[in-house]
Amino acid sequence: DTGVSQDPRHKITKRGQNVTFRCDPISEHNRLYWYRQTLGQGPEFLTYFQNEAQLEKSRLLSDRFSAERPKGSFSTLEIQRTEQGDSAMYLCASSFPSGQETQYFGPGTRLLVL
Amino acid sequence: DAKTTQPPSMDCAEGRAANLPCNHSTISGNEYVYWYRQIHSQGPQYIIHGLKNNETNEMASLIITEDRKSSTLILPHATLRDTAVYYCIVRVEGGADGLTFGKGTHLIIQP
């Protein structure tokens, strides 16, 4: 257990529905990252926050994807109008900024879109 | 960040040392080598990182060649719980962007 928690761990939804995932980072970490991982591939970076500021979002897969971190603590990732291709593991990681920062990953949320 | 090349899979007998190679021939002077692993259905786990000197911690050793174009992760006494996908990543010092994962090496520890 790295101290990064994600909720829910599993989500099944129907195509066209909206889903929201939550990530709680390690408390003293002010950087938070979201990744997506499809079967047989390594994690793919989506976006990251430093405190409440979203500093990179160009990697978000489409405008159906959005992320927030309103108070610089927990974060949410929302997918609107889900498609079957959105089925994947969604991973969150956090880090404390230093010269050689190490990212600590949560257990992930596995999404299945029917 | 520089690109890395790893073998897709490797086997190792339980109790033996597992040596996982990584090629990063285009690495820049300010890029570190990081290793993460991912056990099935879990999030990636940090193992070790280094710049140019060999590094050791409680999990593994990292050997980086003098020209820094390749490295080897060594698990000294592999156990069945070390079966996982191992990712070698190079990253700029202090980089705040996301990590760039390849497909990694699937290490299978045989009993």
Contact check, Cβ <8 Å, A106/B44:
no
B87 contacts chain A (CB < 8 A): yes
Query: Measured on CA atoms in the order A47, A81, A22, A44, is the torsion positive or negative?
Result: negative
B81 contacts chain A (CB < 8 A): no
Which of B42, B98, B101 is closest, CB to CB, to A48? B98
Q: Which of A40, A41, A22, A42 is nearest to A92 (CA)?
A: A22
Question: Are B71 and B63 in contact, with CB atoms under 8 Å apart?
Answer: yes
Q: How far is A6 from chain B (nearest CA, A)?
A: 11
Contact residues, chain B, for A75 at CB < 8 Å? none
- Whether the per-residue pLDDT at B66 is higher than 70: the answer is yes
d(C-alpha B72, C-alpha B4), whole Å: 12
pLDDT at residue B94 in the model: 66
DSSP state letter for B17: P
What average pLDDT does the segment B64-72 reach?
A: 96
pLDDT at residue A83 in the model: 96
Q: Would you state the structure tokens that stand for residue A46, as one six-digit string?
A: 């989506």
Q: How far is B101 from chain A (nearest CA, A)?
A: 5
pLDDT at residue B96 in the model: 67
Which of B34, B44, B85 is closest, CB to CB, to A105? B44
Least confident of A42-46, A104-108, B95-99: B95-99
CA–CA distances in Å: residue A4 to residues A57, B38, B93: 21, 15, 23
Which of B34, B43, B104 is closest, CB to CB, to A42? B104
A11 Cβ partners below 8 Å, 6+ apart? A19, A21, A109, A110, A111, A112
pLDDT tens by residue, A12-61:
999 999 999 999 999 888 899 999 999 989 999 999 998 888 888 777 88
A90 contacts chain B (CB < 8 A): no
- Whether the per-residue pLDDT at A99 is higher than 60: the answer is no
d(C-alpha A110, C-alpha A87), whole Å: 8
* Secondary structure class of B47 (helix, strand, coil): strand
pLDDT at residue B33 in the model: 93
Least confident of A74-83, A92-101, B98-107: A92-101
| Beta strand segments in chain A, E | 5-7, 10-13, 19-24, 31-37, 44-50, 53-56, 65-68, 75-79, 88-95, 104-105, 109-113
Q: How far is A42 from chain B (nearest CA, A)?
A: 5
